[in-house]
Amino acid sequence: MTGKAGADAMPAGTTSGTPQVLLAHHLKQLKLPTVLREYDKIARECARDGVDHPRYLLRLVELALIDRERRMVERRIKAARFPAVKSLDTFDFTAIPSLNKMLLLELARCEFILRRENVIALGNSGTGKTHVGLALALAACQKGFTVAFTTAAALVHQLMEARDERRLLKLQRDLQSVMLLIVDELGYLPLSPTGAELLFEVFSQRYERGSTLVTSNLPFEDWTSVLGSERLTGALLDRLTHHVHILTMNGDSYRLKQSAGRRRPPPQPIGRSKTRPPPRPSIPRPAKPASPDPRGKADARQGARSGPLP
Ligand code: ADP
Ligand code: MG
């Protein structure tokens, strides 16, 4: 199966060298690294198993396709600039009862991206909003969507810098073109009037063109304190929440729970198993109790103003 290509079968200008050397050269030119790496090994396997030429080629091409898809997922993950790679496999749903698990699992199928719908995760600090954002972002990369991950503060900084350097339009076009934009941590830092306007423009330009996922520690009613103007906040929420899924994530901070667990290790009496779980530390409940949205998909235009706030 290793094949013996005669010199007369070679294209003009490639008549010297052994077939393997030429094949390696051509496969590199064609950007088929998996075929180059695997063709000989698979040929031997096929010869051993009596597999014919078309099936040999099929095996090789299938392997090349799988490998290419894996590399593309890796490329999308790299381009998305995740601060960490997290998935729903490592997410403990029992730690956050206010979260609508069915809705999150449905979102992880990424059909909301095809429908250009938005997602907003609201809740106090440490409840897994960034984790969930990253997990949905990873799922999107795996399903072939382009993704960008940033924080509200970093995005505004980037926009202001681009404006000063007269490359704002290019950045805005780039931000508009990703299929899923994740803006994490809206609410920790108040934005300058210019920053708020630039952020509004991003959301506005993406409206019905691409999905945006925002995480915030603030309920909608408090977004004015970050964006400055009531008029701008209203207009921004209007666009962001027209087609939206709300993830309500109020509860105990997972970080606090973990560090409390580390500070107070469980007593290990002699003879007891060391794998016994530590006792649950008691964490004070947040001031604003959770109000999960039982419908999953919230009518946030209502929710943002008069409905039950997260
Ligand atoms: P938030 O963005 O809401 O402040 P994070 O997503 O940053 O919270 O969560 C803080 C840390 O706790 C992260 O390391 C995250 O992976 C972890 N974490 C939070 N919630 C959960 C959970 N339900 N299951 C597993 N890990 C969690
Ligand atoms: Mg976070």
Of the pLDDT bands very low, low, confident and very high (cuts 50, 70, 90), residue 287 is: very low
DSSP 53: H
Ligand that lies nearest to the alpha carbon of residue 186, given by its number in the listed order: 2
Ligand 1 neighbourhood includes 140 CB (under 6 angstroms): no
Q: Which of 74-88, 234-248, 255-269 has the lowest mean pLDDT?
A: 255-269
* Domain enclosing residue 101, as ranges: 81-264+282-305
Q: Say yes or no: 64 and 192 in one domain.
A: no
pLDDT reported for residue 111: 98
Q: Which of 74, 92, 111 is the last residue of a domain?
A: 74
Q: CB neighbours of 239 closer than 8 A, spacing ≥ 6?
A: 203, 204, 207
pLDDT reported for residue 264: 61
pLDDT reported for residue 46: 96
Q: Say yes or no: 23 and 131 in one domain.
A: no
Q: Say yes or no: 47 and 118 in one domain.
A: no
- pLDDT exceeding 70 applies to what percent of the chain? 79
In-domain check, residue 3: no
* More confident site: 287 or 194: 194
CA distances from residue 286 to 127, 217, 249 in whole angstroms, order as listed: 11, 11, 11
In-domain check, residue 250: yes
User: Which chain residues have CB less than 5 Å from ligand 2, an ion?
Assistant: 130
DSSP 74: H
Please check the confidence at residue 124 and state whether its pLDDT lies above 60.
yes
Average pLDDT over residues 207-214: 96
Residue 54 C-alpha to ligand 2 middle, in angstroms? 52
Closest atom of ligand 1 relative to the 127 alpha carbon: 3
Q: Ligand 1 atom 7: the closest Cα is on which residue?
A: 130
Please check the confidence at residue 7 and state whether its pLDDT lies above 50.
no
Of the pLDDT bands very low, low, confident and very high (cuts 50, 70, 90), residue 266 is: low
Residue-wise pLDDT tens digits, 65-116: 999 999 999 999 999 999 999 999 999 999 999 999 999 999 999 999 999 9
According to DSSP, the residues that pair with 140 across neighbouring strands are none
Ligand 1 neighbourhood includes 91 CB (under 6 angstroms): yes
Ligand 1 neighbourhood includes 248 CB (under 6 angstroms): no
Joined tokens for residue 23: 């094949």
Q: Say yes or no: 206 and 297 in one domain.
A: yes
In-domain check, residue 7: no
Ligand 1 neighbourhood includes 245 CB (under 6 angstroms): no
Q: CB neighbours of 159 closer than 8 A, spacing ≥ 6?
A: 168, 171, 172, 195, 198, 199, 202
Residue-wise pLDDT tens digits, 17-46: 689 999 999 999 999 999 999 999 999 999
Select from 99, 134, 136, 255 the residue to mutate for testing ligand 1; criterion: most ligand atoms less than 8 Å from CB: 255
Q: Say yes or no: 109 and 179 in one domain.
A: yes
Q: How many whole angstroms separate alpha carbon 288 and alpha carbon 219?
A: 10
In-domain check, residue 58: yes
Q: Ligand 1 atom 23: the closest Cα is on which residue?
A: 92
Please check the confidence at residue 16 and state whether its pLDDT lies above 60.
no
Average pLDDT over residues 47-67: 96
Joined tokens for residue 129: 């909003």
Ligand 1 neighbourhood includes 86 CB (under 6 angstroms): yes
Q: Say yes or no: 50 and 140 in one domain.
A: no
In-domain check, residue 271: no
Q: Say yes or no: 125 and 32 in one domain.
A: no
pTM of the model: 0.77
In-domain check, residue 275: no
Residue 125 C-alpha to ligand 2 middle, in angstroms? 7
In-domain check, residue 207: yes
Closest atom of ligand 1 relative to the 94 alpha carbon: 23
Residue 186 C-alpha to ligand 2 middle, in angstroms? 9
- pLDDT exceeding 90 applies to what percent of the chain? 75
Joined tokens for residue 64: 């090349």
pLDDT reported for residue 166: 96
Amino acid identity, residue 30? Answer: L
Q: Say yes or no: 65 and 122 in one domain.
A: no
Q: Say yes or no: 110 and 204 in one domain.
A: yes
Question: Which of these, 187, 186, 158, lies nearest to 174 by C-alpha position?
Answer: 158
CA distances from residue 190 to 42, 135, 154, 196 in whole angstroms, order as listed: 59, 27, 13, 9
Residue for token digits 């001031």?
287
Please check the confidence at residue 304 and state whether its pLDDT lies above 70.
no
Q: Say yes or no: 96 and 67 in one domain.
A: no
Q: Which of 9, 42, 74 is the last residue of a domain?
A: 74
Of the pLDDT bands very low, low, confident and very high (cuts 50, 70, 90), residue 258 is: confident
pLDDT reported for residue 265: 56
Please check the confidence at residue 157 and state whether its pLDDT lies above 80.
yes
User: Count of residues for the chain?
Assistant: 310
Amino acid identity, residue 246? Answer: I
Ligand that lies nearest to the alpha carbon of residue 149, given by its number in the listed order: 2
What is the total count of domains within the chain?
2
Residue 129 C-alpha to ligand 1 middle, in angstroms? 7
Q: Say yes or no: 63 and 146 in one domain.
A: no
Q: Say yes or no: 95 and 143 in one domain.
A: yes
Please check the confidence at residue 263 and state whether its pLDDT lies above 90.
no
Q: How many whole angstroms separate alpha carbon 64 and alpha carbon 77?
A: 20
Please check the confidence at residue 305 and state whether its pLDDT lies above 50.
no
Handedness of CA 75, 76, 82, 86 (dihedral sign): negative
Q: What is the CATH number of the domain that holds 243?
A: 3.40.50.300
Average pLDDT over residues 169-173: 97
In-domain check, residue 260: yes
Ligand 1 neighbourhood includes 92 CB (under 6 angstroms): yes
